[in-house]
Structure 1
């Protein structure tokens, strides 16, 4: 049984469809990457897992989120308070916004430990010191006494990591944890996450980071998962045109100096006006007429919804007038 399983998750903010039927699984001890452009729905997915989507008029959330076999969508606010921080930890991308500038780091780190583990303040402080030390932070006792503005960006990000893992959660959600950090600090944070040996949902727009840390990858576009696979297979044999375009746009030392990089035409769709059919079709070099008219059928035998490869594409195409029926079928996928 997966540690976390999201089924048909949909979230809308008025007329904005932030998530449109997201399905995702994370097993114990697995690092899963969730990658996509800004506005694709990555952070909304993380907030939905923790039930941080506001319960207000006009905001709708449907689907199921199973964690350790229990549906988080049926939990009360009080029950979710006991799960956040204790069972599921989260690293937010903006350390300046996530840390309270008026409280010493030690008080902020100890707060969750006292609440969830029920230990006294002195013991919570000591646990915080040990956590900082284990994350490679020098002079942890002094750091606990400092305020966020006195720390570098890299140290602040490690503080957020310490706060997220202080109660030994079963799942860690890392939402763009290396944003605005230099390359060396990024590598250090990635290594720290690997060394934790826990289940992690690693959210980023950077495919290079995903390739270095994740076991499996989900690619997101316009509120939907367009492809998922093992990291090795997704990077070696991407199937969905969007994934292919993303990978072809990344600079690589293996490329010849005169090899042009792929440029994805256009821009991601506005959540106010998502194109009909496949949302990627206006930017897709392989788009057919059916792509603009019908959503790609979900098929359990494929890890990517795309008319280009779908086994029933021919039947759908024949039902649409003026469509050339000589289109690639599933055999091309199976051959690969």
Structure 2
């Protein structure tokens, strides 16, 4: 519902005009995608109707939809005779729900009608999975009446691209997809509820509630976490779960260690008693060649500097 509300709000920023099918081929322009990705372009058509739809007899009306502030690119919405539509934005194919361009066209013509079948089944709740939606009614919001020249025979049941009523089957692939989506939905519900409870507990700064919540989490973790029991009879490790079933786990050994050549760099060489010496290192002056000081603290250097200063003052 949030995705559909977002698309409905965005539809107010567009303007739509009905065009003839012959004009569609001349208005569709080929975009230069050599220097940039087409997905990064704002409101850029993702496909050409002339290349995507081979049988043009299925088209009832063609509408050109442009953005109000930027009319450089146009989207084209084709209303088909089976109650569906095609749009160059491809949101109905990639995301699985009607786009903002279709909602804008719905406000201008009664041929564009909404049906729950336009929303892909992966967006349905678990209780609605597998229900027959072919008998659901179409919803038209446009108050404009069709002229006598373009009266269309619109279907009363929602049809797919093959022209037959949609039958919701329970194939193996759909079952796996439904299970995967169900897991994600359960994770989202638990994560959202848990996050809300944790935020409320921290904001209230109640120690009793905090401890109670921690105890609940720990008790659930103990119930779900399998217990690892060491079997001394065969030297292996067995995994026992809450149901009392035990499965042998492969005994994983430690990785093989390889010693590199030479002495380890981290360990220093131990010196013998002859190498140990308490005498400190004595510096040798470069100027006077005497030990015990260096050239910076040499007395001869200081005396020569004082003599030069006296001569300069005279």
TM range (shorter): under 0.3
TM-score, normalised to structure 2, is 0.26
- RCO higher in 1 or 2 (8 Å CA, sep ≥ 6)? 1
What TM-score, normalized to structure 1? 0.25
User: For the pair shown, which has the larger CA radius of gyration, 1 or 2?
Assistant: 2
Q: Which has the higher strand share?
A: 1
